[in-house]
Amino acid sequence: MQLSLTLGTTDLEMTYDFYRQIPGLSVSWLSRSTDAGTSLMLCANNFKIVFLPLNTLEQQHPVLFQHLSRTSLGAGMTLEFECPELDPIYLAARRNNWPILYELDDREHLRRELWLQDPNGYLIAMNEEPPPVP
């Protein structure tokens, strides 16, 4: 089973730059034009996230958009990614002057976390899990 999400974005270019530069995810343009078909897609082994401009979402789902406009994008949502190593992501965030919301080094559980917020307000939790015990 694969998870697919469609999320609204206020700025496709900034969203593209963030996901490519900071967590280093594979980001591709589904359509690279100025019409309503322009969108981005993040893909990995078991998930796909499509970012659509807010005006496109409003055209496709006007009733839903009435509810979306009442809160900020990403309110109550956390996108959590497991990654093999947090240091490169941490350095990329610092190099690109991206604010780090929360940094945790949980020695008891041998787990590290790095929390960021993407340009649209979605909370991003990057987790470095401990290596498996033999």
Domains and CATH numbers, the chain: 3-128 (3.10.180.10)
- If you count DSSP H runs as helices and E runs as strands, how many of each does the chain have, helices first? 4, 8
Burial class (CB in 10 A: 0-12, 13-18, 19+), 25: middle
Length of the chain: 134
Whole-model pTM over 0.75: yes
Q: Position of tokens 């109550």?
A: 76
Tell me the per-residue pLDDT of 16-56, one tens digit each, with 9 for 90 and over.
999 988 888 888 888 655 554 588 998 877 788 999 888 78
| Rounded Cα–Cα distance for residues 77 and 75 (Å) | 6
